Amino acid sequence: MAPGGDRRKAEHAYRELLDALPDNTAALKGLAHLLSLQGRNDAAAPYRRRLWQLHVHALGVPDVAEAGAAEFLLAAETGGTPPERAPAAYVEGLFDSYAATFDEHLLGQLHYAVPQLLARRFIALGLPSDDRLDILDIGCGSGLAGVQFERHARRLDGVDLSQNMLDLARGRGIYDGLYKAEVVEHLCQCDRRYDLVVAADVLAYFGDVQPLMDAVHKVVADDGHFLFTVEKSDEADFRLSASGRYRHAARYLVRCADVAGFACKVCDEAVLREQHGMPVPGYMVVLHKP
């Protein structure tokens, strides 16, 4: 670590630069890092918060939602107390900005396997597999899961927050209905019943999954199923990781499923993708509505 005098000089230089250029990201990062090295995390927090505010602004998050999105990302970075879910405006902005490179990045760099894993698990259930089912793909994104389930569907619908993602999904020509909406709100207002609801890599943006489970249960037909994946937590019921994604414990998922009225048929460990060259462990879950 640099001597105390050098640290004081560096801090003074960063502060002078920020007086002239308050949104200089290099100075914000440098000062936040310097203060954290000295154990002055409370002093560093405003600069980290401002960095995240600039980040979410660049994503196109509305001004009214910027503060909440920045606090969410700050909690992810610092291990602070997280909200019960990712702010919807942040998720929308994130995936609107990600849409152009989404498929290439997920499939080519992260070796994303969730849609295929869910499809194989679905087939293993022994359910009708020749276009007899009404299927809802929640958080459908660009339609990667829809591609895997299309051949099993009499009707295939999708819902997502991101218009840019929905445009990609529409371009595949496989969905009967596509809806731009927050998932829980859409489910609560939906009058249709589905034999199968699929959520590929969606619950990573929900900490408390009980409201989502309850809403899914409402739209699943009797004897229907809910298939989804989550990233694995070995600790708390759920926790927010530095990536800005929630991880969940198996026991918590089973408990929420039971409260919602589902029976848990499968909760298998699986590798969902790679992150920085390392496997991301998760659970592949199948719930049944009796």
**Residue 169 sits in a domain of what CATH number?**
3.40.50.150
251 and 220 in a common domain: yes
150 and 49 in a common domain: no
Q: What is the pLDDT of residue 1?
A: 44
Q: What number of other Cβ atoms are within 10 A of residue 275's Cβ?
A: 15
Q: How many CA atoms lie within 13 A of 4 on its CB side?
A: 0
Residue 129 has pLDDT above 90, yes or no: no
Highest mean predicted confidence (pLDDT) among 67-76, 108-117, 217-226: 217-226
Lowest mean pLDDT among 9-13, 84-88, 124-128: 124-128
Q: How many domains is the chain built from?
A: 2
pTM over 0.85: yes
218 and 109 in a common domain: yes
208 and 189 in a common domain: yes
> The CATH number of the domain where 35 resides is what?
1.25.40
Q: What is the pLDDT of residue 188?
A: 98
Picking from 97, 113, 138, the residue at the C-terminal end of a domain is: 97
Average pLDDT score over residue span 98-111: 76
Each residue's pLDDT tens digit, 240-280? 999 899 999 999 999 999 999 999 999 999 999 888 888 89
106 and 23 in a common domain: no
Nearest to 270 by CA among 207, 223, 227, 225: 227
Residue 68 burial (C-beta neighbours within 10 Å; 0-12, 13-18, 19+): middle
Cβ neighbours for 186, distance < 8 A, ≥ 6 positions apart: 138, 159, 179
261 and 118 in a common domain: yes
State whether the Cα torsion 13-18-21-23 is positive or negative.
Answer: positive
CA dist., res. 99 & res. 97, Å (int): 6
Residue 106 has pLDDT above 70, yes or no: yes
Which domain covers residue 280, as residue numbers? 98-288
Q: What is the pLDDT of residue 55?
A: 82
Nearest to 229 by CA among 267, 260, 255: 267
232 and 130 in a common domain: yes
Pick the more confident residue, 186 or 123: 186
69 and 127 in a common domain: no
